[in-house]
Amino acid sequence: MNFEYLNTRLNDFEQKDLFRRLVCIDSVSDTRIRVAGAEKIIFCSNNYLNLAEDKRIIKAAKTAMDKYGFGSGASRLISGTNQPHVELEKKLALLLQKEAALVFPSGFMANLAVLQTITEKGDLILLDKLDHASIIDAAKASQAQFRTYHRTQFDKIEKFLASNDYNRKFIVTESVFSMDGDFADLKRLVELKNKYGAYLIVDEAHAFGCFGETGAGLAEEMGILKEIDIVVATLSKSAGCMGGFAAADRGVIDYLINKARPFIYTTAPLPANSAAAVCAIEIIRNEKARRQKLKENGEYLRGKLRSLGFNTGTSSSQIVPVIIGDNKKTMELAKYLFDKGFFVVAIRPPTVAPGTSRLRISLQSGHTKEQIDSLCECLKGFSIRGA
Ligand SMILES: Cc1ncc(COP(=O)(O)O)c(C=O)c1O
């Protein structure tokens, strides 16, 4: 059998400027990378605190590799639980101010495990329309019903929470939204969940390490970390490693260990990765200056882009979109920047809503003002060129 029908679909992607291609990076040095034989400044990595290349983290991984080998050899409940996993989970629980934590091979799997396992038939999952694909897919894979709201539709949320049609109700939101870089109103959601006896699950993927006094995330920064029932996040962004985790009451974590299929039926994370993540957590707790610099970079870039007339939407974080709208024009802009020495990807539907294609600029604490200035100069050149 041939796959002609897939070629038809792919042609359709091409026609609509929605075809996606992989870009291979040859080497990385802080905010500079080499691609296709040329050096570029990278503005599309989630390595927000530049920890992926931190020598201390690399050393921790190498030391663990010497002790435990490379692969973990089995799932966690068989023989894949090594000391670095246990230490990492203790550190995460402490940082997130919860009784316990559990690590997964990815943040995607952490969301899948939590929503699929702790909700039951007759329950309701309330999702922000712009929640990450891993949250949406997790809700779809659960036995519960799910409904969506826009993050400012508190009346709608309240209507669902007040309804008698469901058993338990779970509100699931990102704290910093991945494509707009704006914040969920966590305080309001906490008020509502308390008023109606619902549960609140917060995915801090883009806030973990970047916000809060000790880097625990936006809920810590807002002083409501203890009110969040389950915190999910990833170690693959600001922590510069791989893997996801959930932090919650001991009972929730024990239940996940006993019942979560994405935890039970997969090989444990690499011990070296967990050892690296232990080191990353220490750096995140102790080196607050990285968070401060990241925040300053976000404010600086937004200020410059807005003064140049670019639409940066509702961004308040290190994720700064430049909303263009048209797919083709967005692709042209990304290509123009690439040719000038900047690596920024164009984000198109279905990742964002039709008509809102954009450049998604992600900043790192290692970006300098000069690098940000040069990116803005270049963007200015494009808008003049395009006029
Ligand atoms: C909000 C959010 N949650 C979860 C994930 C998945 O994390 P991971 O890359 O570790 O699978 C991502 C991004 O990758 C994300 O942006």
Reported as a single tens digit per residue, the pLDDT across 78-90 is 999 999 999 999 9
131: CA distance to ligand 1 center in Å? Answer: 10
Q: Report pLDDT for 387.
A: 35
Q: Report pLDDT for 383.
A: 67
Q: Report pLDDT for 386.
A: 44
> Can you tell me the distance from the alpha carbon of 356 to that of 321, in angstroms, rounded to the nearest whole number?
10
Kindly state the DSSP code that residue 75 receives in the 8-state scheme.
B
Q: For residue 72, give the nearest of 232, 266, 314 by alpha carbon.
A: 266
> Can you tell me the distance from the alpha carbon of 149 to that of 61, in angstroms, rounded to the nearest whole number?
42
- State both tokens at 40: 């570029």
Q: N- to C-terminal Cα distance for the chain?
A: 49
H or E, element range at 350: none
Which residues are catalytically annotated? 46, 132, 174, 178, 203, 206, 237
Q: Is 209 in contact with 343 (CB distance < 8 Å)?
A: no
Q: For residue 157, give the nearest of 144, 169, 142 by alpha carbon.
A: 169
Report pLDDT digits (tens) over 113-160.
999 999 999 999 999 999 999 999 999 999 999 999 999 999 999 999
Report all structural domains of the chain as residue ranges with CATH numbers, in order of start. Answer: 14-49+288-386 (3.90.1150.10), 55-286 (3.40.640.10)
pTM of the model: 0.96
Residue numbers in the chain where pLDDT is lower than 50: 385-387
Q: Is 65 in contact with 272 (CB distance < 8 Å)?
A: yes
23: CA distance to ligand 1 center in Å? Answer: 20
**ω into 105 cis (within 30 of 0):** no
Q: Report pLDDT for 381.
A: 84
> Can you tell me the distance from the alpha carbon of 28 to that of 10, in angstroms, rounded to the nearest whole number?
31
Distances (CA, A) of 271 to 63, 76, 108, 205, 341: 10, 11, 19, 21, 37
> Can you tell me the distance from the alpha carbon of 254 to that of 257, in angstroms, rounded to the nearest whole number?
5
Please give all residues whose beta carbon lies within 6 A of any atom in ligand 1, as ranges: 106-108, 111, 132, 134, 174, 178, 203, 205-206, 234, 236, 244
Question: Hunting for tokens 């974590």 — which residue is that?
Answer: 253
Q: Report pLDDT for 129.
A: 95
130: CA distance to ligand 1 center in Å? Answer: 13
> Can you tell me the distance from the alpha carbon of 255 to that of 164, in angstroms, rounded to the nearest whole number?
26
